[in-house]
Amino acid sequence: MKTYSSGMFGRLAFSVAVHMDPDILLIDEALATGDAAFQAKSSARMQELCDNAGTILLVSHGLGIIRQLATECIWLHRGQLMSHGDPEEVIADYATYARVRQHAPVLYDE
């Protein structure tokens, strides 16, 4: 593992995780790694997992992937629960807090 770059390590970790059949799957910012082709493939696999899986806990700052995959959402800030509920409502709360326009073009979704 020492010879892998951080990007390759992330790809390997994501690949291993999504090819298991767990009851609960915890994914922490896994879709932020790799190039555009890998992210697209990862996103498609995540959608498939969400459609067929039990429980998936996705930790992400990527509002686009949260919008795409989440059925329920929580926003934590410095360990405090700020909002909980429908992803669109939680994203709107976050956008208001961050003073960001929700429908502004996303040039980089981290």
pLDDT tens per residue across all 110 residues of the chain: 567 777 777 777 767 766 777 778 777 766 555 667 777 777 777 777 777 767 888 888 888 888 988 899 999 999 999 999 999 999 999 989 988 655 555 544 44
> pTM above 0.75?
no
pLDDT of 45 reads: 75
- Whole-number Å distance between alpha carbons of 51 and 19: 15
User: HSE on the CB side for 44, CA within 13 Å?
Assistant: 5
pLDDT of 88 reads: 96
- Whole-number Å distance between alpha carbons of 7 and 11: 6
Topology of domain 6-98 in CATH is: Rossmann fold (3.40.50)
Domain boundaries, the chain: 6-98
pLDDT of 87 reads: 95
- Residues 6+ positions from 60 with CB-CB distance below 8 Å: 28, 29, 31, 32, 66
